[in-house]
Amino acid sequence: MIFSRFRRERAQLQAMGGYLEMADYERDFVFIYNDGYGEYKLTAPIRIPLRISVKEYSCRLFNAFSTPCYIEKQLEDELGTFVRTKTDEYYETEAETALAQLKPENIKNLAKNWTRAYQEEHVSYAKPEEMSDEAVFSRVYHKMVHTGALDVLTSLEHSYNMAMDDLIRERDADLEMLQRKQSQEMEKVVQSVGFTTSDDHVNSLSARHFEDSQLLHSKWASELNALFDTQKRNFVDCVMKLYEDFQTFGKLPTRSRASTNRMNGGNWNQLQPSRMEESFTIHLGAQMKLMHNLRLVATDALSFCWQKPTAEAGSMPQRLQTAMSLYSSNLCALVLLVDKRINSYTGIKRQFAQICQRNSEFHFSELEDQLERVRHECDNVREWRKKTTPSLDTGDFYVTRHSGLSEVHVIIHLVGDDSVHSTDISSRHPAILGLRNALKVACTSDITTITLPLFLVHEMTEEMTVSWCLKRAELIFKCIKGFMMEMASWGGHESRTVQFLVPDTISEELFGILATMLPSIFRMSNPLVVK
């Protein structure tokens, strides 16, 4: 006689530990055994594929229905056979269904998608990452400047800068000669208007002068680009050749000591601009205090950028340090105050562009190319801000990278306006908030030395009285101190150097007062010692 031991509702069986769930593919497992008194039949729905082990599931069945202990092994074996058979059937059915739905024209795309998925997600099938030529060159250069090749490379850069400077001088002389010639011709024609010439002659001559000027500018631009391309190609080849020689022979060519002394000799002291400087060391922080260096410097802002390529004196020591830290985590930045227009046509922007042109850029894009990318990003900013004009706002800034400047690697172009000349600006002024954001960028971008204008201007004017300067300096000192206290929350756990830049035309008396004010504002209270 056959007794059915499993006549409970399916919901009860599905509640066994939460493993048995309703599924589209379920099969009934039937187990028949005899205990000597009769034949018993167990029927249980099994979800295929089974999400737990066969042994665990058989134990659950065994405990749920109090089957005899001597049939436990038999129940496990038959359940394992049943699960393996039904699982094979399940996957075969799924495969047949998928193949039936697959169209011949989709096989190629499907194979391509699977290949891409394996290459992007599975490391064993991923393509080896290929370094770009720029990345390879940057690593090689960084390694070579920390060897005996530093002197060779800086000397090569110096010779290239001299060649570029000579060509620019020729261009400027040629353009000046053309302008002087055209001015004389125009003056003669204008004086004879109404006698031998007419207004049409003046217009025609003006059009011809403009065309000649454009042709001459194009000619010199082509020559400068050709020289730059040749220099960059030769410089890269030289670096790679030095690296190959270093890897093969373990030694590098060296220059003579006489030449080296001439390049690093004492004539540079007469060429570099005079500076008044005061340095301080402070400790800031709420709990864990960090040491920072502060420096008050009176000089022209662009003195951190220019180099004077002369035959008697080569690169100054700061330039060597700049080259060695070009691809390091100790970068130097300079904050330049500019107007809202992203170009290099007027004011300090034009002077900076001329410096960049005289110092060949072998590592990054040229200044104009970087500004073009900034203008493109400015369009996205305009859409985000829902503005109709593409100009920037006061306090905005954009960043350019450079490898040929004297003492800095990064230029932070901070947008300012005429309001910075006012006497009643507060700590919430956009330009001051721009300095805060510049410090934040420095903390997150491996910039350990940043130079910023203390008065938010680069030149002294008549309204900048002593009281105006002291009030502005006190405001900037206090704001920068607060910003530096925030560095810990920005991830700045390293010692920084902040240089406060004032115009070089400042008086020595005012500079001395500022040097006294700085440590008084950044002074930290001494701890109370109980005796």
Segment 275-331, tens digit of pLDDT:
789 898 888 776 777 788 999 999 999 989 887 655 444 446 677 888 888 898 889
Confidence (pLDDT) at 18: 38
- What residue segments make up the domains of the chain, in order of their start? 22-124, 135-249, 277-306+323-522
Burial class (CB in 10 A: 0-12, 13-18, 19+), 45: middle
pLDDT at residue 34 above 60?
A: yes
This prediction's pTM = 0.70
pLDDT at residue 506 above 60?
A: yes
The CATH number of 277-306+323-522, from 3.40.50.1820, 3.40.50.720, 3.30.420.40, 3.40.220.10, is 3.40.220.10
Q: Calculate helix-pair angle for 199-249, 149-191, nearest 10 degrees.
A: 170
Confidence (pLDDT) at 527: 46
The first and second tokens of residue 348, run together, are: 């300090």
Handedness of CA 438, 440, 446, 450 (dihedral sign): positive
Q: State the average pLDDT over residues 253-259.
A: 46
User: Lowest mean pLDDT: which of 161-175, 302-316, 479-493?
Assistant: 302-316
Q: State the average pLDDT over residues 432-442.
A: 92
Confidence (pLDDT) at 437: 92
332 sits in which H/E element: strand 331-338
In this structure, which amino acid lies at residue 65? F
How far apart are the C-alpha atoms of 287 and 453, rounded to whole Å?
29
The first and second tokens of residue 361, run together, are: 């850029």
Specify whether the CB–CB gap between 484 and 435 falls below 8 A: no
Specify whether the CB–CB gap between 481 and 473 falls below 8 A: no
Confidence (pLDDT) at 19: 38
Within 13 Å and on the Cβ side, how many CA atoms surround 424? 0
Segment 4-29, tens digit of pLDDT:
443 343 444 444 433 333 345 788 88
How far apart are the C-alpha atoms of 452 and 161, rounded to whole Å?
27
Closest CA to 137 of 280, 258, 236, 13: 236
39 sits in which H/E element: strand 39-47
Specify whether the CB–CB gap between 55 and 76 falls below 8 A: yes
- CA dist list (Å): 185 to 174, 189, 207, 210: 17, 6, 13, 13
Q: State the average pLDDT over residues 170-179.
A: 91
How far apart are the C-alpha atoms of 454 and 504, rounded to whole Å?
12
pLDDT tier for residue 273 given thresholds of 50, 70 and 90: low
Within 13 Å and on the Cβ side, how many CA atoms surround 513? 13
Q: State the average pLDDT over residues 151-171.
A: 88
Question: End-to-end distance of the chain based on CA atoms, in angstroms?
Answer: 99
Confidence (pLDDT) at 501: 93
pLDDT at residue 267 above 50?
A: no
What mean pLDDT is reported for the chain?
81
Specify whether the CB–CB gap between 409 and 326 falls below 8 A: yes
The first and second tokens of residue 240, run together, are: 């790679």
Specify whether the CB–CB gap between 279 and 176 falls below 8 A: no
pLDDT at residue 217 above 80?
A: yes
User: Lowest mean pLDDT: which of 220-234, 356-370, 379-393, 460-474?
Assistant: 379-393
SS3 state at 27: strand
Give me the torsion for CA of 23, 28, 31, 37, rounded to 10°. Answer: 110
How far apart are the C-alpha atoms of 345 and 351, rounded to whole Å?
9
Segment 58-73, tens digit of pLDDT:
888 888 877 788 888 8
pLDDT at residue 271 above 60?
A: no
User: Lowest mean pLDDT: which of 159-163, 175-179, 473-477?
Assistant: 159-163
DSSP 8: S
